[in-house]
Structure 1
Amino acid sequence: MTPADLAATVLTAARAVFVTRGLDVSLLPATTTVERPRNPEHGDYASTMAMQLTKKVGVPPRELAAALAEELSSLPGIKSVEIAGPGFLNIRLDAAAAGVLARDVVLAGKEYGRTDRLAGQRINLEFVSANPTGPVHIGGVRWAAVGDALSRLLRVAGADVGTEYYFNDAGSQIDRFARSLYAAAKGEPAPEDGYGGAYIAEIATAVQSTAPDVLKLDEPAALEVFRVEGVKLMFAEIRASLDEFGVHFDTYFNEKDLHDRGELQEALDRLREQGHIFEADGATWLRTTEFGDDKDRVLRKSDGDWTYFAADCAYYLDKRKRGFDRVVIMLGADHHGYIGRMKAMSACFGDDPEKNLEILIGQLVSLVRNGEPLRMSKRAGTVITLEDFVDALGVDATRYALARYSSDSPIDIDIDLWTRAKSDNPVYYVQYVAARTASVARQAAEVGLTRGEPDAFRPELLVHEKENDLLKALGEYPAVVGSAAELREPHRVARYLEDLAGDYHRFYDKCRVTPMGDEEITDLMRARLWLNDATRTVIANGLALLGVSAPERM
């Protein structure tokens, strides 16, 4: 019995009590929850149902709790119910009801943990979106890990998700990029406002390979070649590095397409229809201050050029036109001021900014070795890149390390910690359980121990304290997944996996699964093998949400 099953049972008992007492059943909540008490002596789970309902129905909480306890105690799977304090219900499950979860998890396999909490939501999730003027840097690496984990979580929670990478391939930064490539090709220093690093020389050389006569062209024509071919090459490199990192986007969207298709003008026209456009100083403005922005925003400058914000407006409208009812954008710490103007822009289009737009801000990341931050990249020169991160830690450790912390907290990633094969390395600690559960299953097969048919499973034999702790931990997984998706916090999954790993290690130390020597295979061993394999299932499912492998050997 999972916590969700037990919560439904509590609600069933409450309905029966209401009917018996002639109380208004419409006052019952649609759903409820149960929690694991901090002190195991207080039972397996606790419910506050009686205290939640007492004021609504005018019945003292302990009296209502007593009625609920009596009804619950009569239901299958409930061993006992005790009343504590002002009306807490402390519930203990019988061993069979608790133990059957092991079989359910194994049979569900990859489907275990899926919920419908976000069913019906169509979400566009944009993350990374680095400019195509250089490799993905350390901030983008964090969003690649967290964003991809979040997309997996949202899907498992029932949402229809489209992931998106936005290439800012229009504007002044592309001009500077082209000039930097041109300078490198001629053997000259980068322009004062240009881009440096070995990758610029590499791309310049690659452009010359595809266009050998580029330096014979006049400067404007040469710059156009470096612009077009350079962006194409940088774009391909970024996509390749993300692919190797296990991050694949449903859509790669180019800003230039918005300009070419006239979507900036379309957005302007839509905002004008809404009555939020005005002209001043020869420029076209959006009156965002009406919706809480600190100042109004220019969409088209007096010289006729569009602003970056105009492209933001057009891009948001494009997403909404594609049928996404919620636009989620993940941005770096230096974009905090972006929130107010984007929320106001959403309102100017007639949307509800709290419903239709969500902006997540991620804080800074440092890569540390020997207690000192790494500051220089081998290729980029001034920043640490995705390539540097993976070279230092590997894909699994990088993804786990970055997804393990709340994205609104700055973090230091210690290379020495995350590369050592010891239990203080969190990803090693969790992956070791994945490998150990696989090893136990192999050892069992070698001596002829199998789980047997599901109908022959004896869950009532799983009565050891460490078995019970492990079962309760496995039962929490769907709720962890659901809350992590709703709160946009993949780190909850990582922390749960570490707790689960601890519960498994304690189970492994106290509850032997396979027989020793000529010891006869028993039903208890078979039941423990179900529990072992259930743990393997949940560890693998959780790691998959983070984009991390669950090795069978280490």
Structure 2
Amino acid sequence: MTPTELAALIRSCLLDAVADGTLALSAEEIGEVKVERPRQREHGDWATNVAMQLAKKAGTNPRALAEMLAERLGGAAGVESASVAGPGFLNIRLEAGAAGELARSILEAGEAYGRNDALAGHAVNLEFVSANPTGPLHIGHTRWAALGDALVRLLRASGADVTPEYYINDAGAQMDKFGASVLARAAGTEVPEGGYRGEYVTELAQKVLAERPDLLDLEGDEAVAAARETGYRLQLAEIQQVLAEFEVHFDVYFSERELHGSGAVETAVARLREQGHVFDADGAVWLRTTDFGDDKDRVLIRADGTPTYFAADAAYYLSKKDRGFPEKIYLLGADHHGYVNRLKAIAACAGDDPETNIEILIGQLVSVAGARLSKRAGNIIELSDLIEWIGTDPVRYTLARFPADSPLSLDGEKLREKNMDNPVYYVQYAHARIRNVSRNAAQHGVRREDAFDPTLIGTEADSVLLGHLAGFPEMVARAARLREPHRVARYLEDLASAYHKWYDQSRVSPRGEDPVEDVHRTRLWLNDATGQVIANGLHLLGVSAPERM
């Protein structure tokens, strides 16, 4: 019996009590029933506080309601006992067979185990990374690449329709500076003040020359434009390639340049004016964002007629809205705290609810050995360097293992270590061990298809392991709702720990010449179910589940 099935059973008991007049509630008032693992295992397999939640509505006291539920549950198939604790907590112990059935349920579901409908009906645009196409991705972008992609996977696993999007900042003065920098390096001259000086610019300039051998024959703006456009295309292609190597994929690459070229900025200003939030002052066009919590009103169009970055932000928000995304999530870097109120103000000015239609997550800095990184200064550690040095799996797992709002320093050499002190190795090793147990079992003639007797899964180690496995779907749903992929990593480490302890106590293959028995076959089901859940969890983080290590 899964937690979902048990919750449904409890709700069914409540509905029966409503039907026979024992409980003065409606089905709508009962709502969804939740079960969770009790803090102390001796209290049972599962617990619920539903009686405490519903007692006041039903005009009774929580303990009396819990006792009524305990009596009805006590006779249900698969339930060994139900008891009341404290003011109205209901503790439930499942029959061994009902608990053990979970192993079969997991393997029948396969990759689908853990998927849920907690966010069904939600259409979400999730924007992350969005690095300027003026240089390679570096460690400063890597955290959101890992977390953003993990969040996409989590939201989809919880039923949401998610579109991951990369906003290409390919307009404005920065692109001209980029073009001038590439041109200077191609000509062997000094980069102009305020330009890009990293070593990558010199390498990029050589690639540009290979494609545009006529570059140095051009003059003035024409030469800068040629260097800019060719360099931009090559740099963006490199960004996309590195992201693919990092197992990060976007459905949409949205160009800021196209936003301006399509007239979307002017249209956005007009639409916001119709909403009554645009005003003119000092020759400029303003958005009255202070009406919605911003610290000052924002200029949309400067006095000289040129749009601001804020105007592009407004147009981009409206574009997401027009493309059918009621929910828009922005993943921004540590230096973007000031964007929170202004983006929420844009949502409000556009007629949306800033509490539900837009969500802004701010990630803290990541460093390697405490180094602060700067693309323009050139002292960067590129994402491609991290992949080559440490590997995709350790980097992605480690970045996903901590809350986004906590500063993080990576120790590359420790992440490369293959020992149980390395969390990603610890979890991946558990999966590899599980697969090795399966291979050894096959060699000894232990086959799942020959028998499955869930009543044979009844040791304390079995129970603990089953408890962890049962909690996987709810953990996935909770991590998705809270936007916290680190919950998946911590869950996997707990599950790996429970498996390693189970492995030390439970033999799947018989010893020596001992015969194969049903207990071996049934343990193989539990072994393989654990492997399936670890693989499913690692997939949510974009990390591989190795067959051997």
- TM-score computed with the length of structure 2 as normaliser: 0.97
Distance in 1 between the 2:260 and 2:88 partners? 63
1:430 pairs with 2:423? no
Point out where structure 1 has 5 or more consecutive residues left out of the alignment.
Answer: none
Instruction: Describe how 1:99-178 pairs up with structure 2 within 5 A.
Output: 99-178=100-179
Point out where structure 2 has 5 or more consecutive residues left out of the alignment.
Answer: none
The offset of 1:385, in angstroms, is 2.0
Q: Find the residue that maps to 2:328 and give its secondary structure.
A: strand
Distance in 2 between the 1:541 and 1:23 partners? 41
Equivalent position amino acid for 2:440 in 1? Q
Q: Contact between 2:124 and 2:329, CA under 8 Å: does it hold in 1?
A: yes
Distance in 1 between the 2:96 and 2:344 partners? 52
Distance in 1 between the 2:195 and 2:420 partners? 45
Percent of matched pairs sharing the same residue = 56
Equivalent position amino acid for 1:434 in 2? H
The offset of 1:460, in angstroms, is 0.7
Distance in 2 between the 1:83 and 1:356 partners? 42
The offset of 1:351, in angstroms, is 1.0
1:41 pairs with 2:38? no
Structure 2 partner of 1:61 = 62
Deviations 1:50-100 (A, max 9, x none): 222222222222222211111110111110112111121111110000000
1:464 pairs with 2:455? no
Q: How many residues align?
A: 548
Structure 1 partner of 2:380 = 383
Deviations 1:364-420 (A, max 9, x none): 11123xxxx345699982222212222231000010010111111111122232111
Q: Contact between 1:36 and 1:45, CA under 8 Å: does it hold in 2?
A: yes
Distance in 2 between the 1:391 and 1:309 partners? 38
Q: Contact between 1:16 and 1:71, CA under 8 Å: does it hold in 2?
A: no
Structure 2 partner of 1:487 = 482
Deviations 1:427-482 (A, max 9, x none): 000000110110011001111110015xx421011011001111111000000110
Structure 2 partner of 1:400 = 397
Larger displacement relative to structure 2 (162-171 or 29-38):
29-38
Q: Contact between 1:199 and 1:380, CA under 8 Å: does it hold in 2?
A: no
Equivalent position amino acid for 1:362 in 2? G
The offset of 1:16, in angstroms, is 2.5
The offset of 1:219, in angstroms, is 1.9
Q: Contact between 1:134 and 1:380, CA under 8 Å: does it hold in 2?
A: no
Deviations 1:330-381 (A, max 9, x none): 000100110101100111111111121111111111123xxxx345699982
Structure 2 partner of 1:190 = 191
Distance in 2 between the 1:49 and 1:250 partners? 41
Structure 2 partner of 1:98 = 99
Distance in 2 between the 1:126 and 1:363 partners? 17
Structure 2 partner of 1:15 = 15
Equivalent position amino acid for 1:264 in 2? V
Structure 2 partner of 1:89 = 90
Q: Find the residue that maps to 1:452 and give its secondary structure.
A: helix
The offset of 1:252, in angstroms, is 0.7
Distance in 2 between the 1:233 and 1:283 partners? 37
Instruction: Describe how 1:322-471 pairs up with structure 2 within 5 A.
Output: 322-368=323-369, 373-375=370-372, 381-452=378-449, 456-471=451-466
Equivalent position amino acid for 1:523 in 2? D
Larger displacement relative to structure 2 (513-522 or 188-197):
188-197
Distance in 2 between the 1:44 and 1:379 partners? 57
Structure 1 partner of 2:261 = 260
The offset of 1:191, in angstroms, is 2.0
Instruction: Describe how 1:299-314 pairs up with structure 2 within 5 A.
Output: 299-314=300-315
1:530 pairs with 2:525? yes
Distance in 2 between the 1:142 and 1:378 partners? 16
Q: Find the residue that maps to 1:7 and give its secondary structure.
A: helix
Distance in 2 between the 1:394 and 1:295 partners? 45
- C-alpha distance 64-432 of structure 1, shift in aligned 2 (>3 A): same
Larger displacement relative to structure 2 (237-246 or 19-28):
19-28
Structure 2 partner of 1:542 = 537
Q: Find the residue that maps to 1:72 and give its secondary structure.
A: helix
Distance in 2 between the 1:474 and 1:256 partners? 48
Of 500, 505, 519, the match for 2:500: 505
Q: Contact between 1:125 and 1:328, CA under 8 Å: does it hold in 2?
A: yes
Q: Find the residue that maps to 1:355 and give its secondary structure.
A: coil
Q: Contact between 2:259 and 2:312, CA under 8 Å: does it hold in 1?
A: yes
Distance in 1 between the 2:505 and 2:488 partners? 26
Q: Contact between 1:19 and 1:25, CA under 8 Å: does it hold in 2?
A: no
Q: Contact between 1:169 and 1:254, CA under 8 Å: does it hold in 2?
A: yes
Deviations 1:234-258 (A, max 9, x none): 1111111111111111011110001
Equivalent position amino acid for 2:236 in 1? F
- C-alpha distance 376-49 of structure 1, shift in aligned 2 (>3 A): closer
Q: Contact between 2:179 and 2:225, CA under 8 Å: does it hold in 1?
A: yes
Distance in 2 between the 1:42 and 1:104 partners? 25
- C-alpha distance 148-382 of structure 1, shift in aligned 2 (>3 A): same
Equivalent position amino acid for 1:522 in 2? E
The offset of 1:186, in angstroms, is 2.0
Structure 1 partner of 2:249 = 248
- C-alpha distance 523-418 of structure 1, shift in aligned 2 (>3 A): same
- TM-score computed with the length of structure 1 as normaliser: 0.96
Q: Contact between 1:17 and 1:71, CA under 8 Å: does it hold in 2?
A: no
Equivalent position amino acid for 2:13 in 1? A
Structure 1 partner of 2:318 = 317
Q: Contact between 1:435 and 1:551, CA under 8 Å: does it hold in 2?
A: yes
Q: Find the residue that maps to 1:82 and give its secondary structure.
A: strand
Q: Find the residue that maps to 2:449 and give its secondary structure.
A: coil
The offset of 1:320, in angstroms, is 1.0
Instruction: Give runs of ≥4 in structure 1 deviating > 6 Å.
Output: 376-380
Distance in 2 between the 1:210 and 1:544 partners? 39
Equivalent position amino acid for 1:308 in 2? Y
